[in-house]
Amino acid sequence: MIQASLIAIDWGTTNRRVFALGPDGAVLERFADGLGILSVPDFPAEIAALRARFGDAPMLLSGMIGSNRGWIEAPYVPCPAGFGALSRGLVRVEGTAIVPGVRDIEDVMRGEEVQLLGAVSAGLMPRQGSACLPGTHAKWARIERGAISGFRTVMTGEVFALLKQHSILSAQLQAPVRVGPAFVEGVQRALDEGELLADLFTIRARALLGGIEDPASYASGLLIGSDVAIGLSMIDEGPVALIGDPALTALYAAALEEADRDSIQIDGETAFLAGIHAIAARL
Amino acid sequence: MIQASLIAIDWGTTNRRVFALGPDGAVLERFADGLGILSVPDFPAEIAALRARFGDAPMLLSGMIGSNRGWIEAPYVPCPAGFGALSRGLVRVEGTAIVPGVRDIEDVMRGEEVQLLGAVSAGLMPRQGSACLPGTHAKWARIERGAISGFRTVMTGEVFALLKQHSILSAQLQAPVRVGPAFVEGVQRALDEGELLADLFTIRARALLGGIEDPASYASGLLIGSDVAIGLSMIDEGPVALIGDPALTALYAAALEEADRDSIQIDGETAFLAGIHAIAARL
């Protein structure tokens, strides 16, 4: 058994990431597995298994574990939401604390708030600025005075996955996506026209009429370009903090460059751990 | 056996519609089945089966049967394309004639051209005007001097089906779509904002935050509104001819009304048969 000082779990719908942290914040051990909330029949038993492995340190849980389909619901706190609001909204159960999600007028996030505020508290992005967390459901957020003041969800990753797995374009979208001429062409088209439902079909038509180079990257460019156009319409001027998986933030950085917008890329795990430490300091 | 004067088949990817027509153009018999091109191992045998049933009349085949995945490829004819171009592009094989598809600079149609030009030749829409054929891949077309001068495909129906069958919104989209307040709200939002990838997620968020009425109709409104915005950007002023399944053209008529645009609804089968007769007259 490792005696951790803090146990942090980013517990999502289909998988989870577990971190055992030492007294100085160093990661003693980390692992990810497929035990998302939909695969866990007995949360107390799961928690006990983690305690057997990492000891009885404070345990912070974020993500879908606090949703109405998770273990115990941690109700959404409203915008503007900073660490104070998250801490006051913690739901304590069996020696753990579940971090609440955040809601805007007609939007919700759960899990991203820890990364967002963690990036701010670690000084990786300013206390007044804009951020984007790419993913299945990408989040664009405004940060004011160190709190999340508003945000919007864009279904970019999910729609790309649907097209890749189930659509008439499926066979054309299996290659890895890379930043290159096809990606840039897709981004520019999306930024110029914003007619996604029609632009997507050109992938099929161009293949029938004589070929299209790198259709997967072109499709990704169309979707990320559409996403960026939406995001830029709701944030202020200045650089965008891109928080997440480096392969994905690199695509968004390239798309933002086409829109003449600077960005800074922040590793999602670094931001998550910074957020967890800030919440733990208030326990 | 029925002795038909003309046999017409709208032969698509997953199903086909067969019409046996009399000397005066009346439908002697019609049927639809699941024998789309992907389900037919032996086209000559299928044609022989139809001949045994309806005699040796001229047989016109349109739709995906003429694609590179069909029986014999009937190459796309370019815009502007009228009945003359379609007739010159007919591919004759084993006593049948396959109608070619039509291509624009970066778009293709196959099957819709018969309905479009049929609506014109039957006087159901003007020789100078605009049309929309809703469906899995909706087509918006400009008609000039009785020919298809340009068109654009919008993946509206396919994206709605993907969201309904496979997405996080799936459970919310199972109800029948109807023109009502939720549909109209979706259309207006799409026409005003055009931020489809974000607007779709509000369906999920609003459900979590206290409910949304008739989410299937709202989602359909978002998609059809986005489709209409794209279509209106490429057609001229004046009423839009909506050609297709009456349940679907009614939704588009309601969406066009929100955009202050008049429309006329034309039954797709009527338009198809008119087009087939016009092509048969040139055989």
pLDDT in tens, A61-102: 999 999 999 999 999 999 999 999 999 999 999 989 999 999
Between β-strands A6-11 and A59-62, what pairing exists: parallel, antiparallel or unpaired? parallel
Taking CB atoms and an 8 Å limit, are B201 and A226 in contact across chains? no
Q: Other CB atoms closer than 10 Å to residue A152's CB: what's the count?
A: 25
Interface check B202 vs A, CB under 8 A: yes
pLDDT for res B1: 85
Nearest to A108 by CA among B171, B168, B204: B204
pLDDT (average), residues A262-267 = 98
pLDDT tops 90 at residue A211: no
* ipTM, 2 dp: 0.94
- Residue A259: band (very low, low, confident or very high) from pLDDT cuts 50, 70, 90: very high
Mean pLDDT of the residues in chain B:
96
Q: Other CB atoms closer than 10 Å to residue B267's CB: what's the count?
A: 16
- Runs of H (alpha helix) within chain B: 43-54, 83-88, 112-121, 156-166, 181-192, 196-199, 201-208, 215-232, 246-258, 268-280
pLDDT tops 90 at residue A1: no
pLDDT tops 90 at residue A118: yes
pLDDT for res B211: 83
pLDDT for res A192: 96
Mind telling me how many Å the CA of B49 is from chain A's nearest CA?
30
Taking CB atoms and an 8 Å limit, are B230 and A195 in contact across chains? yes
Region(s) of chain A under CATH 3.30.420.310: 154-267
pLDDT for res B192: 96
pLDDT for res A32: 96
Residue-wise pLDDT tens digits, B240-277: 999 999 999 999 999 999 999 999 999 999 999 999 99
pLDDT (average), residues B1-13 = 95
Is domain B154-267 given the CATH code 3.30.420.310 in the classification?
A: yes
pLDDT (average), residues A178-187 = 98
Interface check B252 vs A, CB under 8 A: no
pLDDT for res A219: 98
Residue-wise pLDDT tens digits, B86-122: 999 999 999 899 999 999 999 999 999 999 999 999 9
pLDDT tops 90 at residue A197: yes
Interface check B38 vs A, CB under 8 A: no
Taking CB atoms and an 8 Å limit, are B201 and A154 in contact across chains? yes
Q: How far apart are CA B28 and CA B23, in angstroms?
A: 10
Which residue matches tokens 């963690």?
Answer: A118
Asked if A57 contacts A5 with a C-beta cutoff of 8 angstroms, the reply is: yes
Mean pLDDT of the residues in chain A:
96
- Residue B227: band (very low, low, confident or very high) from pLDDT cuts 50, 70, 90: very high
A-B CB pairs within 8 A amount to 103
Taking CB atoms and an 8 Å limit, are A166 and B162 in contact across chains? yes
**Interface with chain A: mutation pick from B195, B203, B224, B252, highest number of A CBs within 10 Å:** B195
Interface check B211 vs A, CB under 8 A: no
**Interface with chain A: mutation pick from B112, B208, B220, B232, highest number of A CBs within 10 Å:** B208
Pick among 3.40.50.300, 3.40.50.720, 3.30.420.300, 3.30.365.10: CATH of A6-110: 3.30.420.300
Minimum-distance CB partner of B154 among A108, A162, A197: A197
Q: How far apart are CA B127 and CA B124, in angstroms?
A: 10
CA A274 to chain centre: 15
- Those residues with Cβ within 8 angstroms of residue A194's Cβ, 6 or more apart along the chain or in another chain: A226, A229, B194
pLDDT (average), residues A146-171 = 97
Q: How far apart are CA A146 and CA A163, in angstroms?
A: 37
pLDDT (average), residues B33-49 = 95
- Runs of H (alpha helix) within B193-243: 196-199, 201-208, 215-232
Percentage of residues of chain B with pLDDT beyond 90: 96
- Residue A42: band (very low, low, confident or very high) from pLDDT cuts 50, 70, 90: very high
pLDDT for res A149: 98
Mind telling me how many Å the CA of A27 is from chain B's nearest CA?
33
Q: How much is the pTM? A: 0.96
Which residue matches tokens 């890895």?
Answer: A176
pLDDT (average), residues B50-56 = 96
Interface check B199 vs A, CB under 8 A: no
Region(s) of chain A under CATH 3.30.420.300: 6-110
Q: How far apart are CA B167 and CA B176, in angstroms?
A: 17
Residue-wise pLDDT tens digits, B171-214: 999 999 999 999 999 999 999 989 999 999 999 999 999 889 99
pLDDT tops 90 at residue A50: yes
Residue-wise pLDDT tens digits, A243-258: 999 999 999 999 999 9
- Residue A272: band (very low, low, confident or very high) from pLDDT cuts 50, 70, 90: very high
pLDDT for res B210: 85
